Amino acid sequence: MVQSKRTPSSNPFGGGNVPFLLLFLICLFWSADPLSSASAGWNFSGQVSGWGGYYKEGGGNAGLRFLPRFTFESPLPEGLEVDGEFILNLRTRTTFSSFAELEDNTHGDLYRSWVRLSGERSEIRLGLQRINFGPARLLRSLQWFDSLDPRDPLEVTEGVWAILARTYFQNNSSLWLWGLYGNADLKGLERFKSDEYRPEYGFRYQFPVARGEMAFTWHNRRLDREYARRHGLPRLTDGTENRWALDGTFDLGPGVWFEAAASHISIDSSDSLWTKYLTVGADYTFNIGSGLHVIGEHFIRSEEEEDFMTSALSLDYTLGILDTFTFIAFFDWQEHELSPSLSWQRTLDDWLLNVTAFYNSSGRETDYSGTGILITISFNF
Residue 180 buriedness (CB in 10 A; 0-12 / 13-18 / 19+) = buried
Query: pLDDT tens, 155-169?
Result: 999 999 999 999 999
Going by C-beta distance under 8 Å and a sequence separation of 6 or more, which residues neighbour residue 199?
Answer: 179, 180, 181
Query: pLDDT tens, 132-156?
Result: 999 999 999 999 999 999 999 999 9
Please report the pLDDT score of residue 100 as a whole number.
Answer: 55
Please report the pLDDT score of residue 147 as a whole number.
Answer: 93
pLDDT level of residue 368 (50, 70, 90 thresholds): confident
Gap between the Cα atoms of 313 and 106, Å rounded = 36
At residue 162, what are phi and psi to the nearest 5 degrees?
Answer: -160, 165
Please report the pLDDT score of residue 369 as a whole number.
Answer: 83
In sequence order, what E strands does the chain have?
Answer: 41-55, 60-75, 81-98, 101-118, 122-129, 160-168, 174-180, 200-209, 212-222, 240-251, 255-266, 272-286, 292-303, 306-319, 323-332, 337-348, 351-358, 372-380
Gap between the Cα atoms of 43 and 84, Å rounded = 11
Domain map of the chain by residue range?
Answer: 15-380
Q: Is the dihedral of CA 310, 306, 360, 351 positive or negative?
A: negative
How open is the CA angle 214-128-224, to the nearest 5 degrees?
A: 85
pLDDT above 80: residue 212: yes
pLDDT above 50: residue 4: no
Top pLDDT among 63 and 29 is at 63
Gap between the Cα atoms of 345 and 152, Å rounded = 11
At residue 227, what are phi and psi to the nearest 5 degrees?
Answer: -65, -45
Gap between the Cα atoms of 223 and 228, Å rounded = 7
Domain 15-380 annotated CATH 2.60.40.10: no
Nearest to 360 by CA among 339, 341, 343: 339
| Three-class DSSP category at 155 | coil
Top pLDDT among 27 and 129 is at 129
Could you tell me if residue 103 is left (phi over 0), alpha (psi between -120 and 50 degrees) or otherwise beta? beta
pLDDT above 80: residue 17: no
Gap between the Cα atoms of 111 and 109, Å rounded = 6
Please report the pLDDT score of residue 101 as a whole number.
Answer: 59
